Amino acid sequence: MRFHVIGSGISGSTAARLLADAGHHVEVWETRGHAGGNCHDECVNGVTIHRYGPHLFHTNDRQVWEFLSRFTAWHDYRHTVVADTALGRISIPFSMKTEQQLGRRLSDEEIRELIFVDYSVKQWGVPWDQLPASIKDRVPIRRENADDRYFNDTYQGQPAAGYAALFRLMLDGIPIHLGAAKDAWRRNRRPTDHVIYTGKIDEFYHCVHGPLPYRSLRFEHEWSGTRLPHSIINQCNRLPYTRFYDHAYFSNEHPVQTLVTREFPEAHHDGNEPYYPMPFGTGMETYLKYQRLAAAEPNMIFLGRLATYSYLDMWMAVAQTMTKIRPFIHSFIQQTRTNDNQ
């Protein structure tokens, strides 16, 4: 079969690799000048820069880990985060370690006020009580132990040669049109071709049901001769940015100068990137209308944060892709098994 894969982020690239491995003809269309979507990184002055915000890999899914490990070795990276709060700088997620730092036990209500409310209102631009539990509870409270790792998944690490190198290997041998016009693929598509679409779903339908809301980020970068004491320092307060970070930590680098970035959340518009879907309230109502249109499309598969309007971590995007394209891979596996047996 012939597949057009629209977008070369982690969803599109995973789909492209698995479909190509299964013997399909695959062509990738990417509007940016590089593959890898927001995972893309680049080396500047000896520092691996996460151009679109920090990407820290973690999963409990062995199949996802093994798939990505075909394209990279991993730095043994253990992600920890601290936060500036009304009670000073503390470790998060809130754990017994945080209690020891504060010297007392806090109620759930106090933790919510200390860590979550101000940060979330800045991040999402809506009042706290309008946020869904899936966002409010995304960062856990660990009362039972002093584990200060941000993620406690079985598999954690950073690609040893960076994300860009990982994507280069993942897409090896697959034709990719970098810097393509947004709908160039539509002109090249034949009626029988299958399409994997990973762009914004509202844009795919020319916003017939109105634009979907997304949160975006503005980054302020500064080269500094002084390393931050921590990889990421969250701002659980009323300052206009949510976090600042030192990129050199993410790849275990020790440069003379490092890049420090501050993240300022803002509404998405034509001139910035749609980093976070907002799948709650009116955002969700609007998305369901697009989802109904998508469900009726022949030969189309929608994948990833933007096309399925969901707050997916990297591993979830890979897992979602594996599940949704399984019918096209499965038949190949069956066929090769039959051939092997003949």
Strand partners, 41: 50
Helix axes 10-21, 163-170, angle to 10 degrees: 30
Under the binding rule (CB under 6 A), the answer on residue 48 touching ligand UDP is no
DSSP run (H or E) holding 332: helix 314-341
Q: 10 Å Cβ neighbour count for 144? A: 8
Choose the binding region for ligand UDP from 70-78, 133-141, 314-322, 332-340 (rule: CB under 6 A). 133-141
What's the residue count for the chain? 342
Smaller CB distance to ligand UDP: residue 116 or 163?
Answer: 116
Choose the binding region for ligand UDP from 3-11, 135-143, 205-213, 302-310 (rule: CB under 6 A). 135-143
Contacts with ligand UDP, 176-215, as mask; x by CB under 6 A: ----------------------------------------
Smaller CB distance to ligand UDP: residue 232 or 260?
Answer: 232
Question: What pairing do the DSSP bridges indicate for beta strands 243-246 and 232-235?
Answer: antiparallel
Under the binding rule (CB under 6 A), the answer on residue 314 touching ligand UDP is no
DSSP 213: P
Among 8, 48, 59, 123, binds ligand UDP (CB under 6 A): 123
Under the binding rule (CB under 6 A), the answer on residue 120 touching ligand UDP is yes
Choose the binding region for ligand UDP from 4-12, 32-40, 119-127, 167-175 (rule: CB under 6 A). 119-127
Among 236, 248, 260, 306, binds ligand UDP (CB under 6 A): 236
Alpha helical stretches, state H, 171-303: 184-188, 201-204, 281-295
Is the Cβ–Cβ distance between 36 and 50 less than 8 Å? no
Under the binding rule (CB under 6 A), the answer on residue 115 touching ligand UDP is yes
Give the whole-angstrom CA distance, residue 25 versus residue 281.
40
Q: How much is the CA Rg of the chain, to the nearest whole Å?
A: 21
Smaller CB distance to ligand UDP: residue 123 or 261?
Answer: 123
**Selection from 4, 140, 148 nearest residue 89 by Cα:** 148
Among 19, 26, 83, 316, binds ligand UDP (CB under 6 A): 83
Under the binding rule (CB under 6 A), the answer on residue 139 touching ligand UDP is yes
Give the whole-angstrom CA distance, residue 193 versus residue 40.
28
Q: How many residues contact ligand UDP, by CB under 6 A?
A: 12
Residues at the contact surface with ligand UDP, assessed by CB under 6 A:
83, 92, 115-116, 119-120, 123, 135, 138-139, 234, 236
